[in-house]
Structure 1
Amino acid sequence: MQYLQWIIKGLAMGAADVVPGVSGGTLAFILGVYERLLAAISSCNLLALKLLSRLQLAAFWRHIDGTFLLCLFGGVLVSIFSLAGVLTYMLEYRPIPLWALFCALILTALPPLLRSVRWSLWRLLLCGVGIAFALIIGMLTPRQLEPQSWMFFVAGAIAICAMILPGISGSFILLMSGMYAPVLAAVTGLQLNVLALFLLGCIVGLLSFSRLLNWLLRHYHDASLALLIGVVLGAFYRIWPWQLDQQLYLPWQYAAKAGDADSLMALLFALGGALIMLALLHMEKWLKPAAPSNPVADVKE
C-alpha cells in the first residue's frame, strides 16, 4: 500500500508540473514527501556511483531510496504524458476552472502546513520574504523565442530547480523563457532527441539544487519550512483564477470587465480540488493496513 501512495502522490505532482503557475514541489511539500524526496535525490552522490561501479546493486538501491524514487517519478511521468493534452485544452479554453482547482488544492492543505512550524517573529519574517520572492517571480512577463537544441538542456536545468521549490512553477519558468510551448510540443509529439536533452538538463539541475535544499532543511528545518510556506502563499498571485493584465479581481468584478467569469464551473472544480486534497492528505491513514488483533488479549476477554 505504501508503494500505491507514492505513485498517487507522483501522479498529483506530475499534473501540477504541467500547468504554468503550479509547482509539483508544492504538492510534494503539502503531501509530506518533500523532505524524503530531497534526501533521496541528494543521496545520488559519489558513494552511490562507487556502489554501482562495484555492482553492489542492492546496496546502491537502498542508498538512493530507489523504490520511493521509482514510484514517485513513475507517477510523475505517467501523469505528465497522460494529462498534457487535457490540461493544455483546459488552459486554452477553460482556464478559470483549472486555476480554481489548483487554488482549492493549496488552500485545503494550508492549515496542516501552518501547523507544521513552530512560529516566531524571525520565522514570520522569513515567511514574508518567501511571499515577496514568489510575487516577484509571478510578475515576470512571458516571452517568445525560436529555441536552439542547447536551450532545451538549459531550460531543463533551470525549470527542475523551480519545479522542486514549492510555490515556484517550473512550467511558468519555461513559459517566461519562451520554452514552454516547444517543450510541451516535444512531449505530445514524442520528440525523443529533444526530450533527452531536456531530461539531461533536469538531472544536472536536480542533483545540484536538491543538495542545497536538503542541507537547509537538515540544519534550519522550521526556518526553511517558514520560507517555503511563504513561497507557496505568494504563488496565489500567479494562479488566482480571475485576473486580467496581472490585475486580480473578484468573480463579479471580472465578469463586469471580461463578460464571463465561469463562476459555476470554477466552484465545481474548486470543490473537486478540495475533495482531492483531503483524500490525498488522509490517504496514508485510509490505506494503512489494519493492525492484527491480539489473540492473547481476545482470550483474556
Structure 2
Amino acid sequence: MNSKISFINTFFKGLLIGISNIIPGVSGGTMAVALGAYDELLLAINTLRKDWKKSLRLLLPYVLGAVFGIGALSFVIQGAMDAYPLVMACLFLGLILGGVPPLWQKAQKEKKGFSEALLFMLFIFLILFMTFVSTDAMESTTIIMTPLTFFILFVVGVIAAATMIIPGVSGSLVLILLGYYDKILTTLSTFIRSVFDLNPSGIGQGLLVILPFGLGILLGIGLVAKLIAWLFNAYPGKTYAAILGLVAASPIAIFYGLPQTTFTLPTAVFSILALALGYVLSTKLGEK
C-alpha cells in the first residue's frame, strides 16, 4: 500500500513539474526543488548507467506524470491561464514558496561570503533580463521541415532541456526567446488531436518535429544533470546561492506580462486561496 501511495505521490510531483515546463515564467526546476524532488531526480539521472534498474524505477512515475501533465493537461492549464491568469499565477507562486524553507535550511549549512552574495544577485538579474527581453519574440507557429530544421529542432531541444533542469529558469521562456514556443506547443496540440482522431498524416508530421526536439531534450537533461551534480559536490555554497537567486526572481517572472484583468473581490479571494493551496500542496508533497 505504501509503495502505491509513494508512486501516486511521485506521479503527482511529475505532473506538476511537467505542467510548470509548459507555462512561460514558471520553472520546472524550481518546482522540482519546491516539491523536494530535485536531488533525487538529479541522482537518478546521473546513476542511470551504473544502476539503471533503480534509476528507472525512481524516474518512471516522474516521467509518466510529466508526460501526462504536458500532454493531457496542457489544454486545460493553458485555458485556465487564459481565463484566470492572476489566480493561476498565485497558485504557481504558492507552489514555489512552499519549497523555499527547506531549500533555505540546506543553504544555511554551507559557507556564506561575498562571492555567494554576488552569485545570488547575479542570478536574480539573469532571470530578470530573460523575463524582460522575452516580449514579442514569437512570429509564426508553422514549422517547415528540412534537414536544417531537423538539426535546429535538435539543438533547440538541447537548450530547452538544459534550462528546464536549472531551478529558476523557465524552459518555456527560453523557447519564447528562441522563437519556438508557440511552434512546439502548436505542433504538440495538433499531434495529440491527430492521435485521438487516428489521423496518420497528422501523426507523421507531428513526429517529424517531436522526434528531433525530444532527442535534444534527452541529451540536454543528461549533460546538465551531470554538470549540476558536479557543482553541488565542488561548490555547494555557491551553487545554493545561485539557485536561491533563481528562485527569488521567479515571482517576477511569473507575474510579469500577465494580461490586465479587472481586479474584483472574487478575483482577490480566489487568488489568495490559490496561493495558500499551492503553498500547502508544495509543503505536503515535499515531505519525505
TM-score range, shorter chain: 0.7 to 0.9
Is the CA contact (8 Å cut-off) linking 1:163 and 1:169 kept in structure 2?
A: yes
Are the aligned partners of 2:34 and 2:286 in contact in 1 as well (CA < 8 Å)?
no
Do 1:10 and 1:76's aligned partners in 2 also have CA atoms closer than 8 Å? yes
- The one of 127, 144, 152 aligned to 2:139: 144
Aligned residues of 2:99 and 2:282 also touching (Cα < 8 A): no
Paired position in structure 2 for 1:282:
284
Deviations 1:247-278, CA, capped at 9 Å, x for gaps: xxxxxxxxxxx572356325414422432332
Matched, 1:205 2:196: no
1:124 corresponds to 2:117: yes
Deviation at 1:166, TM superposition (A): 0.9
CA distance in 1 between counterparts of 2:93 and 2:285 reads: 20
For CA contacts below 8 A with separation 6 or more, give which structure has more relative contact order: 2
Aligned equivalent of 1:100, options 75, 86, 90: 90
Answering whether residue 32 of structure 2 is matched by residue 37 of structure 1, we say no
Alignment root-mean-square deviation, CA = 2.4
Q: Which residue in 2 is equivalent to 1:188?
A: 189
CA offset digits 1:172-204 (Å, max 9, x no partner): 111222211111112212222311121111011
TM-score by length of 1: 0.77
Give 2:266's aligned residue.
Answer: 264
DSSP 3-state at the match of 1:61: helix
1:133 corresponds to = 126
Which runs of no fewer than 5 residues in structure 1 stay unpaired? 52-58, 245-257, 289-301
Cα pair distance change 1:162/1:266, threshold 3 Å: farther
Partner amino acid for 2:132? M
Taking a change above 3 Å as real, the CA distance of residues 262 and 201 of structure 1, as seen in their structure-2 partners, is farther
Q: Across the two proteins, how many residue pairs are aligned to each other?
A: 259
Give distance in 2, aligned partners of 1:259 and 1:283: 31
* Cα distance in structure 2, aligned partners of 1:85 and 1:239: 19
TM-score by length of 2: 0.81
* Counterpart Cα distance in 2 of 1:265 and 1:192: 40
Which of the residues 236, 239, 242 maps onto 1:227? 242
CA distance in 2, matches of 1:171, 1:242: 14
1:114 is matched with 104
Unpaired runs of 5+ residues, structure 2, are 192-205
Residues 98 and 266, structure 1, Cα contact 8 Å, conserved in 2 = no
* Counterpart Cα distance in 1 of 2:179 and 2:82: 17
